[in-house]
């Protein structure tokens, strides 16, 4: 009965949640990192592009015309502006109307783009002495008597500061994410703990209980846990019923065994003191028959115990009731004990299928047959038949049947024992088995005699 | 030592690019550091010797160059990717900044270089290793005490009268021949409005523009010039040790302070050169150089916590802003202006 | 005839021994496995009656040791246990028969005689069909050397089919054969069930029962 529950623990809920959330956060973290890095790059680019164009405009605005010549007075402020990116190298050049270099690096990186008269600065990426750099080109248009045309100013700078800023922005975003992630994880753990607290409470309650205390557990708990508690309660109820059955069995057994043993003892005491050989032989004969019936009683009690056990534990299968009937006939036990009884078998050509335990059902039918043989009037017939919904195995004799009503249940078991007979016990077994397989006992008394049937739900299907 | 100085004195101004060379340390040293610098061997030699005493497995091949030639040579070698020097130290710091901007210098990271004040390094590729003021020197015997100019205004006042005794006897660098001279003049022009007036006064009074610190200082000692403007303090102080006739003034309106720039040419630094650099920046190297007045005690580049001796000192920052002083158009225009002024009054 | 009774319940043992003696059967009584081994070391027995639960061990151990030593004396196991499984396991460890306590002395003696008869029976009367060996005198059948657990009527049915394996038996004839001297009235429908049960038990023997529609059944040997 005590199926040992496996103690193997699976991953704790807390752990599952941590792993799940951690994975989610990690995934989100990677996505956000990429997003933050992309944003950081754009932000850094925009910020430093402004410096770049500021420097270019400063240089452009310092270009003047003197005697028809371009004069570039390179302002220090332009370089101070660019020096805000402290470690980046600076490229610049000023080209005249015909594209001739006026001053600065002869940068060969400027994309060949037609000059426009728009003032929109044009940004582009190129290398500066083998290092990636960002450039801007601005123009300034002169239209004076001595000089007219468009002068272009290109200013560039390597991108160390941009990268640093981009990384810095990313780092800050990640730091925020990390703190947020830890906070979410922490809160999740708190939530799980509080959600699991009712479970811990129930575990404590059960642990502190007396082992025999099978009363219901307080079901005040969240819905999910309440379901578990109610099935736990149902389980304990079944356990309690089992206990009841066991208690009854033990007290019945005590009663049923003590009585015949007491009779045996009394008879044997009597025999010891009896000096008359003939009377003593009579007493010994009584002792012998009493011991025979005690043996049968014992068989039945063990059979009952076994049936109760099997009802709980045995695997159920599809059975042909005709097989059970034939087994009873074939066993031949009855022919030894009641050699003068006729037994008839009434079965049809078709299988009568039920769902149950072969041994329990065989024991039940055997007890009914034994009762009929012991207390009924021959001939005894055992038969199997089916109605629309029920399969039925029955035993019939020509007598009146027992004097008790079935619905008295187990109680009548006791009274029958004292008479040295065991019809009640047999009925009790049959009733238990019928109940266990969703069936019932049916008694019919009429002019044809007494017929007792075990009715079980009919299982339709193919032949076994 | 003095003999060498004399030889060197007469060799200055020659067109030979490489002015002097000397080998320090064992000939068979494991590592030879090729040093090119505008600094005179005599002034820098004790520092090199001190360094080699710490690193006996090194030797230093010392080449002394004029600043413009040194820049040209290093720049060409950079373009052809065949650097033949391990460390270049120049007083024409704007040229060194340009080299860094042209990606001709290798980075070097060390604790010592990190401690340097931020104005004196850029990109971990250029470091200011000295602090030398641009001073005025005068001949103590020929210039009376009350005439000694303490500011540029004083100097202007001296030159203002027609046919004053200083006419033709004030000297300064020829900015076309000396990179350092150009830099000082250029920075003066940006620093203060007095520069225009000063230039004009120089021109009007027939000031002499000549090439080198030593020639100018010698002229003052010999009495050919009474006053010299924008002379490097380290040279003046060194010579003043033996020539008591030489008077030195840090202008009180403002004093430019030059920090000689060191770079490690090429894409990858030579380890020996890096160690030499670290030595120069270390307390010990600084102390050694201060004995040759390369580092003036009043304001060591390393004593950042100490306030400057005078608030008038202006450190020349080693940074991209110096690129302006190397811009062709700007240089052309500045030189033109210089020419124009001096030719206007040329006798 | 001499038998060894190994049984630790003294009064049951003595009563049984007394009845054996009254019926002219010599019976030695051993209360423990050790006693039993002592007897077996010095005496040959025609049969052994062996209780399963003994104070110094399990009767099945003794049985296994006997068979290992080549002692082929028939053994009847006594068991107080109440489970079908025990019956099967009694055969599987090499017992020739078993009896559940409480038992009738007459039943015990009848079983012993039956065992002895089987043991002494003439092997020449054995019929061998594929994996099935059928011994009519000893009333046992084996499949591939393993004893078949057949009920009386199953054995009777097998016996009919084996002895007249060239004949076709109608249901009526089988019914007659099985129940002619019996009091039970079972009807023709029971025959199908018997045949089905026997078929199931013969699986693996190479012998089957074929149905000839409308005619009846016949033994079918591969």
Q: Please give the pLDDT value at position A118.
A: 60
pLDDT-derived band at B229 (thresholds 50, 70, 90) equals very high
Residue A357 C-alpha from the chain's centroid: 30
Half-sphere exposure of B171 (CA within 13 A, CB side): 24
With CB atoms and an 8 Å threshold, state whether B323 touches A79.
Answer: yes
DSSP H or E segment with residue C175: helix C171-179
Higher pLDDT, A6 or B102: B102
Per CB-CB distance under 8 Å, the chain A contacts of B101 are 89-90
Measured between CA atoms, the residue of chain A closest to residue B121 is A87
Q: In the predicted model, is pLDDT for residue B345 greater than 70?
A: no
User: What is the Cα Rg of chain A in Å?
Assistant: 51
User: What is the Cα Rg of chain C in Å?
Assistant: 20
Structural tokens at position C123: 């092997």
A109 touches A125 (CB < 8 A) = no
Q: What is the pLDDT along chain A (464 residues), one digit of tens a residue?
A: 444 445 566 777 778 878 888 888 888 888 888 888 898 999 999 999 999 999 999 999 999 888 888 888 888 889 989 988 888 999 999 988 888 888 998 887 666 655 555 668 889 898 898 889 999 999 888 888 888 888 889 999 999 999 999 999 888 888 888 898 889 888 888 888 888 888 888 888 888 888 777 788 776 777 777 888 888 888 888 888 778 877 877 777 777 778 778 888 888 888 888 888 888 888 888 888 888 888 877 877 777 777 877 777 778 888 899 989 888 887 766 665 666 677 888 888 888 889 888 888 988 898 888 888 888 887 888 999 988 888 999 999 888 777 655 544 444 444 444 444 556 677 888 888 888 888 888 888 888 888 899 999 988 765 44
ipTM: 0.81
Higher pLDDT, C1 or C4: C4
Q: Does A291 touch chain B (CB under 8 A)?
A: no
Q: Does C80 touch chain A (CB under 8 A)?
A: no
Which among C99, C105, C152, C190 is the top mutation candidate for probing chain A, defined by the most A β-carbons within 10 Å of its own β-carbon? C190
Peptide bond into B278 cis (omega under 30): no
Q: Please give the pLDDT value at position C89.
A: 66
pLDDT-derived band at B207 (thresholds 50, 70, 90) equals confident
Higher pLDDT, C179 or A318: A318
Q: Please give the pLDDT value at position C133.
A: 86
Closest CA to C50 of A231, C71, C42, B110: C71
User: What is the mean pLDDT of the segment spanning B143-171?
Assistant: 88
DSSP letters for B194-220: HHHHHHHHHHHTT-EEES-HHHHHHHH
Torsion-angle region of A420 (φ positive above 0: left; ψ -120 to 50: alpha; else: beta): left
Neighbours of chain A (3+ CB pairs under 8 A): B, C
| CA pair distance C117, C126, nearest whole angstrom | 14
A431 touches A320 (CB < 8 A) = no
Percent of chain B with pLDDT over 70: 90
Structural tokens at position B175: 């900015």
Give the helix, strand, coil percentages of chain A, each rounded to 5: 55, 20, 25
| CA pair distance A161, C113, nearest whole angstrom | 111
A160 touches A85 (CB < 8 A) = yes
Q: Does C190 touch chain A (CB under 8 A)?
A: yes
DSSP letters for B61-116: EEEEE-HHHHHHHHHHHHHTT----SEEEES-HHHHHHHHHTT-B-----HHHHHS
| CA pair distance A131, A397, nearest whole angstrom | 113
Compute the nearest-CA separation of A141 from chain B (Å).
Answer: 19
Q: Please give the pLDDT value at position A106.
A: 85
- Calculate the dihedral angle through the C-alpha atoms of B127, B128, B129, B133, rounding to the nearest 10 degrees: 170
Per CB-CB distance under 8 Å, the chain B contacts of A130 are 103
User: What is the mean pLDDT of the segment spanning B52-70?
Assistant: 92
With CB atoms and an 8 Å threshold, state whether B102 touches A80.
Answer: no
With CB atoms and an 8 Å threshold, state whether A345 touches C153.
Answer: no
Which among A103, A127, A133 is the top mutation candidate for probing chain B, defined by the most B β-carbons within 10 Å of its own β-carbon? A103
B79 touches A129 (CB < 8 A) = no
Q: Does A131 touch chain B (CB under 8 A)?
A: yes
Per CB-CB distance under 8 Å, the chain C contacts of A322 are 189-190, 193
Which of B118, B122, B324 comes nearest A76 by C-beta? B324
B58 touches B31 (CB < 8 A) = yes
Which of B101, B118, B333 comes nearest A90 by C-beta? B101
Q: Please give the pLDDT value at position B245.
A: 92
Q: Please give the pLDDT value at position B257.
A: 92
| CA pair distance B113, B129, nearest whole angstrom | 10
Q: Please give the pLDDT value at position A9.
A: 67
- State chain B's mean pLDDT as an integer: 85
Q: Does A222 touch chain C (CB under 8 A)?
A: no
φ and ψ at residue A117, rounded to 5 degrees: -95, 5
Q: In the predicted model, is pLDDT for residue B14 greater than 60?
A: no
Which of A295, A323, A342 comes nearest C102 by C-beta? A295
B34-48, B104-118, B216-230, B293-307: which range is least confident on average? B293-307
Which among C111, C193, C197, C198 is the top mutation candidate for probing chain A, defined by the most A β-carbons within 10 Å of its own β-carbon? C193
Residue C101 C-alpha from the chain's centroid: 17
With CB atoms and an 8 Å threshold, state whether A349 touches C83.
Answer: no
Per CB-CB distance under 8 Å, the chain A contacts of C153 are 330
CB atoms within 10 A of CB C114: 17
Q: Please give the pLDDT value at position B139.
A: 93
Measured between CA atoms, the residue of chain B closest to residue A102 is B329
Q: Please give the pLDDT value at position A58.
A: 93
DSSP letters for C92-142: HTT-SEEEESS--HHHHHHHHHHHHHHHHS-GGG-EEETTEEEETTTTEEE
- State chain C's mean pLDDT as an integer: 83
| DSSP state for residue A94 in the 8-state scheme | E
Q: Does A349 touch chain C (CB under 8 A)?
A: yes
| CA pair distance B233, B133, nearest whole angstrom | 5
User: What is the mean pLDDT of the segment spanning B9-21?
Assistant: 54
Q: Please give the pLDDT value at position B6.
A: 37
Compute the nearest-CA separation of C184 from chain A (Å).
Answer: 5
With CB atoms and an 8 Å threshold, state whether C152 touches A332.
Answer: yes
Measured between CA atoms, the residue of chain A closest to residue B100 is A89
* Residue C82 burial (C-beta neighbours within 10 Å; 0-12, 13-18, 19+): middle
Q: Please give the pLDDT value at position B2.
A: 40
Per CB-CB distance under 8 Å, the chain A contacts of B124 are 87
Per CB-CB distance under 8 Å, the chain B contacts of A133 are none
Using CB atoms and an 8 Å cut-off, which of residues 62-121 of chain A contact chain B? Answer: 71-76, 79-80, 82-83, 86-87, 89-90, 94, 102-104
Q: In the predicted model, is pLDDT for residue B303 greater than 50?
A: no
Q: In the predicted model, is pLDDT for residue B5 greater than 50?
A: no
Closest CA to C152 of B268, A336, B289, B46: A336
Contacts of residue A245, Cβ cutoff 8 Å, sequence gap at least 6: A308
* Residue A79 burial (C-beta neighbours within 10 Å; 0-12, 13-18, 19+): buried
Which among B325, B327, B331 is the top mutation candidate for probing chain A, defined by the most A β-carbons within 10 Å of its own β-carbon? B327
With CB atoms and an 8 Å threshold, state whether A131 touches B103.
Answer: yes
| CA pair distance B244, B135, nearest whole angstrom | 16
Half-sphere exposure of A419 (CA within 13 A, CB side): 11
Q: Please give the pLDDT value at position A173.
A: 84
């Amino acid at each position: 009965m005590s199926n040992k529950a496996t103690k193997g623990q699976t991953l704790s809920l807390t752990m599952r949640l941590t792993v799940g959330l951690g994975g989610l956060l990690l995934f989100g973290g990677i996505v956000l990192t990429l997003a933050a890095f992309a944003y950081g790059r754009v932000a850094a680019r925009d910020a430093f592009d402004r410096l770049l164009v500021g420097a270019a405009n400063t240089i452009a605005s310092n270009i003047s015309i003197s005697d028809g010549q371009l004069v570039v007075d390179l302002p220090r402020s332009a370089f101070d502006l660019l020096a805000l990116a402290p470690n980046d190298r600076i490229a610049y050049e000023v080209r005249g109307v015909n594209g001739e270099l006026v001053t600065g690096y002869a940068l060969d990186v400027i994309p060949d783009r037609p000059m426009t008269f728009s003032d929109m600065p044009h940004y582009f990426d190129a290398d500066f002495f083998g290092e990636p750099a960002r450039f801007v080109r601005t123009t300034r248009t002169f239209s004076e008597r001595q000089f007219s045309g468009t002068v272009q100013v290109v200013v560039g700078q390597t991108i160390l500061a941009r990268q640093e800023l981009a990384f810095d922005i990313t780092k800050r975003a990640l730091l925020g994410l990390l703190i947020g992630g830890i906070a979410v994880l922490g809160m999740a753990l708190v939530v799980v703990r509080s959600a699991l607290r009712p479970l811990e409470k129930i575990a404590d309650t059960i642990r502190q209980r007396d082992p025999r205390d099978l009363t219901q557990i307080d079901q005040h708990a969240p819905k999910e846990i309440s379901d578990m508690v109610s099935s736990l309660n149902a389980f304990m109820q079944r356990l309690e019923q089992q206990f009841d059955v066991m208690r009854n069995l033990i007290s019945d057994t005590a009663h049923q065994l003590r009585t015949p043993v007491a009779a045996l003892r009394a008879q044997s005491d009597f025999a010891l003191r009896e000096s008359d050989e003939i009377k003593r032989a009579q007493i010994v004969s009584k002792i012998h028959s009493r011991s025979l019936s005690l043996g049968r009683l014992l068989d039945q009690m063990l059979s009952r115990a076994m049936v109760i056990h099997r009802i709980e534990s045995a695997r159920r299968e599809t059975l042909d009731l005709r097989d059970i009937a034939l087994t009873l006939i074939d066993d031949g036990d009855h022919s030894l004990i009641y050699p003068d009884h006729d037994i008839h078998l009434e079965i049809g050509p078709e299988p009568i299928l039920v769902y149950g335990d072969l041994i329990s059902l065989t024991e039940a039918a055997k007890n009914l047959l034994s009762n009929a043989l012991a207390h009924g009037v021959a001939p005894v017939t055992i038969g199997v038949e089916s109605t629309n919904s029920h399969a039925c195995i029955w035993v019939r004799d020509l007598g009146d049947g027992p004097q008790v009503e079935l619905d008295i249940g187990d109680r009548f078991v006791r009274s029958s024992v004292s008479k040295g007979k065991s019809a009640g016990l047999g009925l009790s077994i049959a009733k238990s088995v019928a109940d266990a397989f969703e069936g019932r006992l049916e008694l019919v008394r009429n002019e044809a005699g007494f017929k007792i049937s075990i009715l079980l739900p009919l299982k339709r299907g193919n032949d076994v | 030592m003095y003999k060498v100085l004399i030889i060197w004195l007469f060799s200055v101004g020659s067109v030979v690019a490489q002015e002097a060379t000397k080998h320090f340390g064992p000939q068979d040293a494991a590592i030879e550091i090729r040093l090119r610098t505008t600094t005179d061997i005599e002034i820098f030699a004790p520092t090199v010797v001190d360094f080699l005493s710490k690193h006996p497995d090194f030797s230093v091949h010392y080449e002394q160059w004029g600043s413009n030639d040194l820049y040209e040579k290093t720049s060409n070698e950079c373009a052809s990717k065949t650097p033949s020097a391990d460390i270049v130290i120049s007083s024409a710091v704007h040229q060194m900044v340009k080299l860094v901007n042209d990606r001709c210098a290798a980075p070097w990271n060390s604790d010592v270089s990190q401690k340097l004040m931020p104005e004196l390094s850029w990109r971990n590729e250029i470091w200011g290793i000295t602090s030398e003021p641009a001073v005025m020197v005068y001949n103590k015997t020929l210039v009376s005490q009350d005439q000694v100019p303490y500011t540029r205004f004083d100097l202007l006042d001296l030159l203002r009268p027609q046919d004053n005794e200083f006419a033709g006897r004030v000297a300064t660098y020829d900015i076309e021949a000396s990179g350092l001279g150009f830099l000082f003049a250029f920075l003066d022009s940006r620093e203060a409005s007095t520069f225009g007036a000063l230039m004009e006064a120089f021109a009007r009074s027939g000031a002499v523009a000549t090439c080198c610190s030593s020639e100018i200082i010698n002229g003052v000692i010999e009495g050919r010039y009474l006053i010299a403007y924008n002379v490097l303090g380290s040279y003046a102080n060194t010579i003043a040790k033996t020539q008591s006739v030489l008077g030195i003034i840090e202008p009180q309106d403002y004093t430019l302070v030059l920090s000689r720039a060191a770079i490690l040419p090429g894409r990858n630094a030579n380890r020996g050169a890096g160690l030499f650099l670290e030595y120069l920046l270390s307390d010990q190297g600084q102390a050694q150089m201060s004995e040759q007045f390369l580092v003036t005690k009043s304001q060591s580049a390393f004593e950042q916590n100490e306030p400057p001796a005078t608030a008038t000192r202006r450190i020349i920052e080693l940074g991209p802003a110096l690129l302006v002083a190397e811009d062709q158009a700007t240089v052309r225009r500045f030189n033109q202006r210089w020419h124009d002024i001096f030719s206007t009054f040329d006798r | 005839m001499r038998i060894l009774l190994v049984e630790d319940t003294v009064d049951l043992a003595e009563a049984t021994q007394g009845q054996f003696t009254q019926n002219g059967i010599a019976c030695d009584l051993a209360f423990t496995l050790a006693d039993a081994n002592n007897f077996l070391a010095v005496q040959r027995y025609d049969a052994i009656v062996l209780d399963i639960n003994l104070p110094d061990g399990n009767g099945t151990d003794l049985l296994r040791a006997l068979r290992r030593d080549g002692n082929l004396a028939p053994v009847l196991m006594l068991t107080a246990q109440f489970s079908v499984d025990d019956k099967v396991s009694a055969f599987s460890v090499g017992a020739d028969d078993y009896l559940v306590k409480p038992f009738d002395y007459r039943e015990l003696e009848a079983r012993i005689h039956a065992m002895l008869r089987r043991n002494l029976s003439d092997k020449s009367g054995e019929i061998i069909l594929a994996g099935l060996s059928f011994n009519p005198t000893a009333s046992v059948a084996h499949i591939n050397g393993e004893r078949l657990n057949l009920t009386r009527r199953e054995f009777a049915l097998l016996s009919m089919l084996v002895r007249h394996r060239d004949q076709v038996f109608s249901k009526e004839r089988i019914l007659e054969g099985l129940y002619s001297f019996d009091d039970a009235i079972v009807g023709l429908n029971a025959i199908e069930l018997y045949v089905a049960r026997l078929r199931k038990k013969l699986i693996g023997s190479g012998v089957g029962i074929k149905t000839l529609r409308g005619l009846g059944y016949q033994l079918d040997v591969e």
